[in-house]
């Protein structure tokens, strides 16, 4: 039997999607993790973090919150993550989770100077970096995104693995077993369309074209596959094969 994964839930999706069960469910389904293969701790709701971590790996979800707000639950989660990353527990942060890991390790998070990134975006992989998570990924691939804040300055020793036109830190390796993804590999086309429609008024206020964004949304199988790859990496580590 494989050890379960821990999902740290840092927030809820837009209200229009809450009947679709939210970030932990999407991660589990996209990562092909069995229903009984995850424990979820809703840190944003104040649920306590475990002292021991008998898990194959840790996921940190996206959130409508901002790392720069320095909320108490977020800061305590960052401190907790710092210790688990140092211990070598495989960890993958998505969007807010990616930013929280960067903050925990000494990086800087703030509003992206390029503005909002939302919809399906083209990700360009660094072809100079060998990395187990990105191994076998094409030079360019589509991924879904929705964020205003970004990792502005990386922590020491962090390595950029992928970027996009508006985001220089789309995929980052923070430690030998720790990664962050600014994009959302767990999003489907339906989820992304709903996010664009939910943010339509703000997008228009910022000078964006909602119809154009909706027209470019497409499936993202390569990005989705990164969750399954992370699961395999974590399981291989448990078996002593890495």
Could you give the residue numbers annotated as active site?
A: 95, 184, 186
Cα angle for residues 154, 156, 161 (degrees, 5° grid) = 55
Structure tokens at 136: 């076998």
- Yes or no: say if 64 and 18 are a contact pair by the CB < 8 Å rule: no
Rounded CA separation 96/113 (Å): 17
H helices present in the chain, as ranges: 23-30, 72-86, 96-104, 189-198, 200-205, 210-216, 221-238
Three-state secondary structure call for residue 143: strand
In 54-169, which ranges are E strands?
57-60, 91-94, 108-111, 117-125, 140-147, 149-153, 159-163
Q: Which residue has the tokens 């590999």?
A: 185
């Amino acid at each position: 039997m494989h050890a379960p994964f821990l999902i740290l839930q840092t927030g809820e999706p837009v209200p229009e999607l809450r009947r679709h069960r939210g970030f932990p469910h999407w991660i589990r389904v996209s990562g092909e993790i069995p229903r009984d293969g995850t424990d979820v701790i809703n840190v944003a709701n104040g649920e306590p973090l475990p002292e021991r971590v008998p898990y194959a790996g840790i996921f940190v979800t996206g959130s409508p919150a901002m790392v720069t707000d320095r909320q108490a639950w977020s800061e305590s989660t960052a401190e907790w993550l710092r210790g688990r990353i140092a211990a070598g527990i495989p960890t993958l942060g998505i969007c807010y989770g990616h930013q929280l890991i960067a903050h925990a390790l000494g990086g800087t998070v703030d509003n992206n100077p390029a503005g909002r990134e939302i919809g399906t975006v083209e990700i360009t992989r660094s072809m100079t970096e060998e990395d187990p998570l990105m191994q076998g990924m094409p030079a360019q691939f589509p991924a879904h995104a929705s964020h205003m804040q970004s990792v502005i300055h990386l922590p020491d020793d962090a390595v950029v693995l992928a970027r996009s036109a508006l985001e220089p830190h789309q995929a980052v390796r923070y430690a030998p077993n720790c990664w962050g993804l600014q994009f959302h590999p767990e999003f489907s086309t339906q989820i992304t369309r709903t996010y664009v429609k939910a943010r339509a008024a703000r997008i228009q206020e910022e000078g964006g074209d909602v119809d154009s964004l909706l027209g470019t949304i497409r499936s993202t199988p390569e990005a989705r596959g990164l969750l399954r790859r992370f699961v395999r990496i974590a399981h291989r580590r448990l078996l002593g094969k890495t």
